[in-house]
Structure 1
Amino acid sequence: MYHAVDHEPAAATRRLSVSPEAFAAQMAVVADRGFTALTTAELAEAWRSGRSLPARPVLITFDDGYEGVHRHALPVLTKHGLASTLFVSTGWLRGAHDEGGAPDTMLGWDQVRDLAAAGTEIGGHTHTHPQLDQVDERRLWYETLRCRELVREELGRAPMSFAYPYGYSDRRVRRTVRAAGYAQALAVGNATARRRQGPYALERLTVRRSTGIEEFERLLEGRAIVRTFAADRTLTKGYALVRRTRAALRSAGRYGL
Structure 2
Amino acid sequence: MKRFIVVFALLAGLLMILAGCMSETKEATVSEANTQPEAVTKTVATAVPEGIPVLMYHKIGPDEDNDAVIREDLFRAQMKLLHDKGFNPITMEQLNEYVRHGTAVPVKPVVLTFDDGYADTYSIVYPVLKEYGFAATVYVNPGDVGTRLTWEQIKEMKDGGVTIASHGYDHVRMNELSNSDQLANIVKAQLALKEKLDIDNQWFCYPYGRENEYSQKAAADNGILLAVTMNPGWVHKGDNPYALHRIWIGNAVDLAHFEERITTEDYADL
TM-score (norm 1): 0.79
Paired position in structure 1 for 2:62? 7
Q: Which has the higher contact order (CA 8 A, sep 6+)?
A: 2
CA distance in 2 between counterparts of 1:66 and 1:162 reads 17
Q: Is 1:52 equivalent to 2:52 in the alignment?
A: no
Alignment-mate amino acid for residue 177 of structure 2? V
Paired position in structure 2 for 1:228? 269
Alignment-mate amino acid for residue 72 of structure 1? I
The structural deviation recorded for 1:29 is 0.8
The structural deviation recorded for 1:22 is 1.1
CA distance in 1 between counterparts of 2:230 and 2:179 reads 23
Cα deviation code 1:174-223 (max 9, x no counterpart):
01111121111111211011123221111100001221111111111125
1:168-179 maps to which residues of 2 (within 5 A)?
168-179=210-221
Number of matched pairs:
215
1:112-191 maps to which residues of 2 (within 5 A)?
112-191=154-233
Paired position in structure 1 for 2:5? none
The structural deviation recorded for 1:224 is 4.0
Bigger radius of gyration among the two:
2
CA distance in 1 between counterparts of 2:266 and 2:223 reads 36
Q: Is 1:111 equivalent to 2:163 in the alignment?
A: no
Large movers: runs of 4+ above 2 Å: 6-9, 45-51
TM-score (norm 2): 0.75
Paired position in structure 2 for 1:211? 253
Unaligned runs of 5+ in 2: 1-55
The structural deviation recorded for 1:170 is 1.6
The structural deviation recorded for 1:45 is 2.6
Cα deviation code 1:95-145 (max 9, x no counterpart):
xxxxxxxxxx61111111111111111111101111101100221011101
CA distance in 1 between counterparts of 2:97 and 2:152 reads 28
1:186-205 maps to which residues of 2 (within 5 A)?
186-205=228-247
Alignment-mate amino acid for residue 228 of structure 1? D
Paired position in structure 2 for 1:80? 132
CA distance in 2 between counterparts of 1:164 and 1:182 reads 12
Give the RMSD, CA atoms, in angstroms. 1.7
Structure with greater proportional strand content: 2
Contact 1:6–1:72 under 8 Å retained in 2 = no
Contact 1:152–1:158 under 8 Å retained in 2 = yes
Identity of aligned residues (%): 26
Unaligned runs of 5+ in 1: 95-104, 230-257
Partner SS for 2:105 = coil
